[in-house]
Amino acid sequence: MAALEDEFTLSSGVLSAGPDGLLGVEQSNKTDQFLVTDRGRTVVLYKVSDQKPLGSWSVKQGQLITCSAVCNFQTGEYVVVHDNKVLRIWNNEDVNLDKVFKATLSAEVHKIHSVRGTEPVLLFKEGAVRGLEALLAEPQQEIEAVLSDGEVIRWTKLFMVFRHPVLIFITEKHGNYFVYVHMVNSHTLSKYTLLRGQEEKSVIQSFTASVDRKFISVMSLSSDGCVYETLIPVYPTDPEENQRVVSSLLLRAVVSGSAPSGVALTVLDRDHVAVLGSPLSASKECLSVWNIKFQTLQTSKELPQGTSGQLWYYGENLLMLHGQSLTVIPYKCEVSSLAGALGKLKHSHDPGIQVMPPFVNWEASQGDGLGSQHAEQPRRILRRRKIEVSSQPAVPPSKQLLTTIMKDSEKHIEMELRKFLAVKTPDFHAIVGDLVTGLLGRCQVEPSFCPRNCLVQLIQTHVLSYSLCPGLMEMAVKKTDVQLLQLCLQRFPDIPESVTCACLKIFLSIGDDSLHQAEIDMESVFDYGDSVQGDNVAAPVDVLQNGFSPEGDTCLSCCQEVPAKPQDAAAATPTCPVTPQRAALLNAILHSGYSEAFLLPHLKDIPAQHITLFLKYLYFLYLKCSENATMTLPGIHPPTLNQILDWICLLLDANFTVVVMIPEAKRLLISLYKFVKSQISVYSELNKIEVSFRELQKLNQEKNNRGLYSIEVLELF
Amino acid sequence: MRARAHVGPGRREARAWSGERGAAGMGEFKVHRVRFFNYVPSGIRCVAYNNQSNRLAVSRTDGTVEIYNLSANYFQEKFFPGHESRATEALCWTEGQRLFSAGLNGEIVEYDLQALNVKYAMDAFGGPIWSMTASPSGSQLLVGCEDGSVKLFQITPDKIQFERNFDRQKSRILSLSWHPSGTHIAAGSIDYISVFDVKSGSAIHKMIVDRQYMGVSKRKCIVWGVAFLSDGTVISVDSAGKVQFWDSATGTLVKSHPIANADVLSIAVADQEDSFVVGTAEGTVFHFQLVSVTSNSSEKQWVRTKPFQHHTHDVRTVAHSPTALISGGTDTHLVIRPLMEKVEVKNYDAALRKITFPHRCLISCSKKRQLLLFQFAHHLELWRLGSTVATGKNGDILPLSKNADHLLHLKTKGPENIICSCISSCGSWIAYSTASRFFLYRLNYEHDNISLKRVSKMPAFLRSALQILFSEDSKKLFVASNQGSLHVIQLLEGSFKHLHAFQPQSGTVEAMCLLAVSPDGNWLAASGTSAGVHVYNVKQLKLHCTVPAYNFPVTALAIAPNTNNLVIAHSDQQVFEYSIPDKQYTEWSRAVQKQGFHHLWLQRDTPITHIGFHSKRPMHILLHDAYMFCIIDKSLPLPNDKTLLYNPLPPTSESDVVRRRTAHAFKISKIYKPLLFMELLDEGTLVAVERPLDDIIAQLPPPIKKKKFGT
C-alpha cells in the first residue's frame, strides 16, 4: 500500500530560494545525498539521513548558475553550468568553484542530465545533444540547431533503456507540443507531434515520464486538472518522418488547474504517481499519491505553507520546497491486496480508523506477535510508539472504556470510543471483542439503549469476527437492522450458515419502503437504470460469449416444446427484478462465505415466492455477466460469476420440488435448463479439445527444442 | 586548468589499454551442446532428518541412500549406491547417528557413514518390511512386516539383535510410531490402527478407520502413516484422503480432516509437537499447526494452515526439521521449504530449495578423441561428439558435418548400481566400479569399429572404488577405495601393475571421494567428506602436504597445468587456489578472500561440481554448477558487490570507458541449464551436457489427472 511517511526538512538557511523555487535537485553518487541548486549562485550537497548539508559551493558575484548541478556517476565529480555557456567540473575536495576546471562552450546549455550507468549528457537550448566526454575533448566545437525559431524546451529527461541512454525532451511552439527522442549513443533523433484530444484548450503544466521495455510513457498534467498519458516508442519505426502521438486521459480532475504556484507531477512506480497542487475541494496545497491502475487516491498530505510547484523523486524520497525550506517526504509502497488499494478512497474521510490486515498470522495470534511486527518497522516509528505506550495511564484505557459502556450515555460512549480507536494497542482484537460484548450486554438489559453508531464504528475496524461477538448479528436480525447486517456480512469472515440464511430471509421479505429509509452501502450495485431502458431495443444476449448458442442446437428437445421465438426471449431479458437497495443487500449475501452442507437445510425454510425472486435476480445477474467477454459485472465490488452460479445451484438443490410446482417459475427454470445444457456442451467440447491443445503445446515445445545435439557459437564477454 | 590536464591524457591512455584488452579477451567458443544424456533420477521414497547433526538421509526407489548436510548449504556429501533387490521402504537414524534402512527384501541394513559402505544386512524373517521406527531413546528398532508382525530389535554397539515379537496382526503393518515416553506404539495397517503396550507386547486398542470418503466407499483404507503424540493423541493419514486424530486412551476418533481426493501418503511431526506436515498423492503438502482457539486461552486446536504445491506427483515422504518442511516423492525433487516464522534472519538460507540432480559428476570425457562417457545406474554409454567445419557469430547454430555417435552401451552384471566411472584422456581405457566389483576395459579403435576387452584378474584389494581417475597421459590409474586408501596402478598394454597404495592417516577410515591429478602426473590431490585435502607426490610416492582444513565440504577439485595450483570449491561457494609447490595459498586466492566473493556468487544454490583448465589458457579457470558456468580470468579485476556480476546481454555500442569499468574476472553464462557437465575440449571448444527438466518429466509416470474444464 502506498504511503507517505512523516516529512522532515533539510536546513533552510543555506539556500536562497526565490519565488520561482529551486533550479533543481539531483542525485549524488551516494544514495541519500542530493545536489540542490538554487536560482542564484549556490550548489549545496545534502545528506538526507543526517538532515544536514555536507558541502556548499558558489560561483563568483555577478555570475549566475543557469542549470542545475549534477553528479557524474562514472567519476564522482560534479558538473554545473553558469552563465549559460561556462561548464565547471569539481569534486568534493574542491573549495572554490572559481578555481576548478572550466570549459567555455560555444552554445547555451539547457540542462545537464546524469543517470547511473552512463556519462552526463548535455542538452543545448537549440536542441542539440552531446555527451560530456565528447564535449570536453573539443569544448569549442560547433553546436547545431535542431529546434525551429520560437520553439522552447519545456521539459526533459534522460533514461537508460537496455543500458543505452535515451534523452527525451518536449518543446512548445505556439501552443503546440513536440516530443523529441534522442538516442545518445547512435545519435538518432525522432520527433513526434503531441496531438491532444478534448483537452486542446488547456495548457500543459507539468510533465513526467517513465519507461518500460518498448515505450516511454509521458504523463502530463493539464490546467484542467487531469492527467494524460502518451506512449512514445523508444525505437522509432521511421526516424525521418514527423510522427504523431495521441494522449489519452489517465486520471480525471486530480487538482484544480488554477493553483497559484503551479502544479507538479511525478511518476513514483509503475502504478503510482505523485501530484503536487491544490485539490478541487481544498484551497491548501497538497501532495497526493494516486494509483493510476485503479484510479484511486492512495494517500495525501497537506502542505499548508505552500510550495513552489516543483517536485523531485529519487530513491524513496519525494523532495519539494515547502514554504522556504526543502522538505523530504519518504514514500513507501509495500505490496498490498487489491481490496486494500480500492479501500482507501472510501475511508479517506475517516482517518481515525486504521485498517488492520484482514488475514490472521497464525503465529502472531498465538503469542505477542505484534511485538515482532513492531521490530520490523523503521526505528523512528518504533520510538514514537514507545512514547505513546509509556504515556498511557496505569489503568488500561480498555478497562475504562468498558466501565463507560456500562454506565454512560450513548453520546459519551461514542466519543470515548473514537478516542480509543485512534490509538492502537497490542491486543486490539481481543479488546474490540470485549467492547462489543459489553455493548450488547447493556442492550439486553436496557431495551431502550441502542448504540448503533458505536457498533458500526467497531465493525469497521475490520478486526471483529462473528465468533468474537456472536450476539451482535442476532440482535440485528431481531431488530431487522439491514444496514448493520450488510456491514457484518461484508466484514465478518466466519458467519454461520444459519445466520446468513436468516439475513437472506430478511433481505427478501423486507418491504421496499423500509429499504428506502435504510442507509445501504450501494457499492456493489452497478447502475441498473441503463439496462432497464435499453433492453427494449437490445437483442437478448445469451451465452453466445462462450462460442455456443443454445438456439443453434437443433437437438435441444425442449426448444420444440417451448415456443423459442426471439420475442419470447426478449420478454425475459434483463430488467432487474429487485430494487437497487435490495440488490445491494443480496450481493452482500452472495459475497459471504458458506459451506454447502450447512447452508442447504436452512435454505429450505425460505418461502417459494422469495426463492423465485432471488432466482430471478441471480439469473438477471448472470445475463448481465455474459454481456461482456470477461464474464464480470461492472461496479466496484460486484458478485463474481462463480458466486452467482453457486447460489443458483444451491437454491435449486434446496427447493427444486417446490419451485417446479410454481407456474411463474416455469419460464425461469426452462431458461436455466437451456443455459446448463449449453454450458455442458461447451465444457465437453473444451475437454475434447484439451488433448489437441496439449499436442499443440508439445509441438510448440519441440520447435523451441534445439534437438538432442548441436554445435553452437558462444561469445563470453 | 589543473583538472583538465589531469583528465585529458589519462583518458586517452585508458582507451588504448582497453582496446588491447578487447583483443585479448575471452573470445568465442564452439560449444557442443549435448542433450542426449538420458538420465532420469529415481523417485524419492523416504527421508529421515537427524536433528543433532542437521543431516538429512534420503532414499530413492532404486535403493540409493544419500546424505545431505543441511548446515553446509544443503550439500549432498555422501551417498550409498543402490541395489536392485534393496527397495528401501523405511529409513531411520538412531542413537550415535547411526543410519538404518529396511525394505521389501525383508532385510534391515546399517550403513557405515565413514567408509561409505553397507555395514551389514540382517533378515528380519517377517517377509517384506513396510515400516521401521527407532525408539525415542534411540536404542531400539521396531519393524512392521508383511505377515502382520511387529518386531523389536535391540541396537548393540556393532549390530542389532532381535528381541521379541508383538501380537501378530491380520495384515501388513504399513506405519509405526512410538509414544515419546516409549511405553506405547501405534501401528497403522489396512483398515485399522493398533495401539500396543511395549512392555507386554499386546494390542490394547484397535481403531477401525472409515473406508468411506465423501460418500464413496473405497475397497480398503490403507493407513499410510501414524504419529503418536505425547498427550496420547494418534494422528493417522490414509488412502481415503483423511487426516484423523484419535484418542489412544479410549480408542476413539476425535477429529477428522478430509484433505484430498487421493491418498495421504506421509506424515511428520515437529519435535515440539506444535506442528506437523502431511503429503498427498496429488503432490500437495499441508502444514497443520496447533493454535489457540481464541486469543489468550490455553485451549489449543490443530488447524490446517498452509498448503504447498511444489510437487507434481505423489509426495511419498515428508520430514519436519525445526525450521523447514522437507518433502520428496515420485517426481524426484527433494524440496526443502523453510518456515518463514521460524527463520530468524531472512537471508538466502530462507529460500525454497529444490534439489533434483546429484551433487557429483556422472560424466567423464576424453579430450583427445572427443568422447563422453555417461554413467547410469546399471550401464555406461560412450558417445563420440560430432564435428563441424563452419564458423559463425555469437548465438549461431552451426551445420553439422558429422553428428554425434553412440559408440558403446556397457551393461553391468549383477544387481548393484555403478558408483563411479571414468574414461582416460586418450579414450582407450574405461574403468568403473560397483559396491563389490571393479572393472577395467581396454578399447581399441580401428576406423569405425571399436573393440572392447576386459582386463581380467583385478587384485583383491580393488573390490570397490569411490572414485577413479586416469592420469593425463593415460599411463596411470588412481583409485580411491572405500577403506580410505588410494591405489596407484600403472597401465600397460592390456595389463596393469600395482605401484603403490597411499594408506590413510593412522586412526582414520574416512573414505576419499574426490580426486584430482596434475596434468604432468606428478601430483595427486584427494579429499574426503570432512577432513581436508591431501596432496601426494606421485613420483616419490609420499604425502606432500595437507591443505589447511576448512569448515565446509569440498565439492570439486582440480590442479591447473604448468603452475600446479590446486583449485578447490567448497559447498559454501568459496573457491580457493593453493599452490602445491609453494605449499601455500596463491596471491590471487588471498586477494579474492580479502575482497570476498560477489554476494550473488555466494547466493547460488547448487554446488560447483566440476573444475576444468586448458594448458593454453593459463589464467583461466572453468567452473560450473547446475545453472551456470563461469570462466574466471585471473588477469582481470575482481568484481565487488556494486558491479554487475552477470549480464545476459552482449555489450553493443557502449563506450570503452563503460566496458573497461564493468569488465571483471567472472565471465558467467547461464545459457545451458540444467548443466550436468562442462569441459574445455581444446582452447576454443567447450562441451556442455544439459538435461532439460521437461525431458525428465516426460519419462515419469503421469500424475493424477485433474480436470481443467468444468467440474
pLDDT in tens, A299-308: 888 887 777 7
Residue type, A672: L
Measured in angstroms, the CA of A438 and the nearest CA of chain B are apart by: 18
- B124-157 burial string, b = 16+ CB within 10 Å, else e? bebebbbbbbbbeebebbbbbbbebbbbbbebee
Output A705 or A620, whichever has higher pLDDT.
A620
Verify whether the Cβ–Cβ distance A708 to B709 is below 8 Å.
no
- Contacts with B33 from chain A: Cβ below 8 Å: 706, 709-712
In the structure grid, which three cell numbers stand for residue B193, read together? 490402527
- The per-residue DSSP string of A315-342 comes to TTEEEEEETTEEEEEEEEE----HHHHH
- Contacts with B11 from chain A: Cβ below 8 Å: 133
Verify whether the Cβ–Cβ distance B29 to A714 is below 8 Å.
yes
Which residues partner with A90 through β-bridges? A78
A708 touching B, CB under 8 A?
yes
Mean pLDDT of the region A383-409: 59
- Which residues lie closer than 8 Å to A163 by C-beta, 6 or more apart? A117, B649, B654
Residue type, B338: P
- Count other C-beta atoms under 10 Å from residue B213's C-beta: 18
Candidate ranges A230-244, A579-593, B465-479; pick with highest mean pLDDT = B465-479
B30, B296, B694 ranked by CB distance to A711: nearest: B30
Residues 459-478 (A) with a CB less than 8 A from some CB of B: 467
In the structure grid, which three cell numbers stand for residue A53, read together? 548539508
Closest CA to B287 of B315, B261, B312, B262: B315
The predicted pLDDT at position B383 comes to 94
- Which residues lie closer than 8 Å to A534 by C-beta, 6 or more apart? none
- Contacts with A717 from chain B: Cβ below 8 Å: 25-26, 647, 650-651, 667
- The per-residue DSSP string of A625-660 comes to HTTSTT---SSSSPPPHHHHHHHHHHHHHHHHHHHT
The predicted pLDDT at position A84 comes to 85
pLDDT (tens digit, 9 = 90+) per residue, B307-350?
999 999 999 999 999 989 999 999 999 999 988 777 666 666 67
pLDDT (tens digit, 9 = 90+) per residue, A99-135?
888 888 888 888 898 888 888 888 888 888 888 888 8
The predicted pLDDT at position A368 comes to 39
- Among the listed ranges A445-459, A514-528, B53-67, B89-103, which one has the minimum average pLDDT value? A514-528
pLDDT of residue A541 exceeding 80: no
Domain-wise residue ranges, chain A: 20-146, 662-700
Please name the residue that has the C-alpha cell 498423492. B281
CA angle B215, B219, B222 (to 5 degrees): 100
Q: What is the pTM of this model?
A: 0.59
A163 touching B, CB under 8 A?
yes
Structural domains in chain B, sorted by start = 26-34+587-703 (no CATH), 44-269 (2.130.10.10), 270-355 (no CATH), 358-549 (2.130.10.10)
- B677-694 burial string, b = 16+ CB within 10 Å, else e? bbbbbeeebbbbbbbeee
Mean pLDDT of the region B448-460: 84
d(CA B545, CA B564): 13
B31, B295, B391 ranked by CB distance to A365: nearest: B295
Phi and psi at A443, nearest 5°, equal -55, -40
The predicted pLDDT at position B349 comes to 64
B31, B631, B655 ranked by CB distance to A712: nearest: B31
pLDDT (tens digit, 9 = 90+) per residue, A456-466?
888 887 778 88
Mean pLDDT of the region B501-508: 77
Verify whether the Cβ–Cβ distance B294 to A467 is below 8 Å.
yes
Find out whether A523 and A637 touch, Cβ atoms under 8 Å. Answer: yes
- Contacts with B705 from chain A: Cβ below 8 Å: none
Q: Name the residue of chain B whose CA is nearest to A467's CA.
A: B294
The predicted pLDDT at position A346 comes to 36
- The per-residue DSSP string of A346-374 comes to HHTT-TTSPPPPSS--HHHHHTTHHHHHH
Find out whether B121 and B136 touch, Cβ atoms under 8 Å. Answer: no
Q: How many CB pairs under 8 A join A and B?
A: 141
The predicted pLDDT at position A567 comes to 41
Confidence of residue A706 (pLDDT cuts 50, 70, 90): low
d(CA B423, CA B421): 7
d(CA B124, CA B102): 9
Q: Could you give the percent of chain B with pLDDT greater than 70?
A: 90
Mean pLDDT of the region A417-435: 75
The predicted pLDDT at position B2 comes to 40
- Which residues lie closer than 8 Å to B277 by C-beta, 6 or more apart? B267, B268, B285, B286, B287, B288, B318, B320, B325, B327
- Contacts with A715 from chain B: Cβ below 8 Å: 26-29, 393-394, 650
A283 touching B, CB under 8 A?
no
Measured in angstroms, the CA of B514 and the nearest CA of chain A are apart by: 29
Output B16 or B499, whichever has higher pLDDT.
B499
Interface with B, mutate which of A29, A95, A368, A711 (most B CBs under 10 A): A711
- Which residues lie closer than 8 Å to B74 by C-beta, 6 or more apart? B68, B336, B353, B355, B605
Mean pLDDT of the region B502-513: 76
- Count other C-beta atoms under 10 Å from residue B434's C-beta: 22
pLDDT of residue B34 exceeding 80: yes
A98 touching B, CB under 8 A?
no
The predicted pLDDT at position A703 comes to 66
N- to C-terminal Cα distance for chain B? 81
- Among the listed ranges A230-244, A352-366, A699-713, B330-344, which one has the minimum average pLDDT value? A352-366
- Among the listed ranges A36-40, A211-215, B20-24, B443-447, which one has the minimum average pLDDT value? B20-24
Topology of domain A20-146 in CATH is: Methylamine Dehydrogenase; Chain H (2.130.10)
The predicted pLDDT at position A364 comes to 42
Measured in angstroms, the CA of B478 and the nearest CA of chain A are apart by: 32
The predicted pLDDT at position B3 comes to 40
Find out whether A665 and A612 touch, Cβ atoms under 8 Å. Answer: yes
B289, B654, B709 ranked by CB distance to A683: nearest: B709
Measured in angstroms, the CA of A41 and the nearest CA of chain B are apart by: 22
- Among the listed ranges A84-98, A418-432, A504-518, which one has the minimum average pLDDT value? A418-432
Q: Name the residue of chain B whose CA is nearest to A367's CA.
A: B296
Verify whether the Cβ–Cβ distance A717 to B647 is below 8 Å.
yes
- Contacts with A683 from chain B: Cβ below 8 Å: 709-710
Output A25 or B98, whichever has higher pLDDT.
B98
Cis peptide bond N-terminal to B674, omega within 30: yes
pLDDT of residue A535 exceeding 60: no
Find out whether B316 and B326 touch, Cβ atoms under 8 Å. Answer: no
d(CA B26, CA A640): 58
Confidence of residue A568 (pLDDT cuts 50, 70, 90): very low
Find out whether B484 and B465 touch, Cβ atoms under 8 Å. Answer: no
The predicted pLDDT at position A564 comes to 38
pLDDT of residue A5 exceeding 60: yes
Number of residues that make up chain B: 711
Verify whether the Cβ–Cβ distance A715 to B289 is below 8 Å.
no
d(CA B122, CA B126): 12
- Contacts with A707 from chain B: Cβ below 8 Å: 35
Residue B540 exposed, middle or buried by CB count within 10 Å (0-12, 13-18, 19+): exposed
Measured in angstroms, the CA of B666 and the nearest CA of chain A are apart by: 10
pLDDT of residue B381 exceeding 60: yes
Candidate ranges A324-338, A551-565, A671-685; pick with highest mean pLDDT = A671-685
pLDDT of residue A542 exceeding 70: no
- Contacts with A709 from chain B: Cβ below 8 Å: 32-36, 386, 400, 403-404
A139 touching B, CB under 8 A?
no
Which residues partner with B438 through β-bridges? B433
Mean pLDDT of the region B666-686: 91
Find out whether A184 and A157 touch, Cβ atoms under 8 Å. Answer: no
Mean pLDDT of the region B517-525: 93
pLDDT of residue A191 exceeding 90: no
Candidate ranges A14-18, A175-179, A372-376; pick with highest mean pLDDT = A175-179
Confidence of residue A337 (pLDDT cuts 50, 70, 90): very low
The predicted pLDDT at position A540 comes to 38
Mean pLDDT of the region A209-223: 81
Q: Name the residue of chain B whose CA is nearest to A427's CA.
A: B295
d(CA B620, CA B644): 20
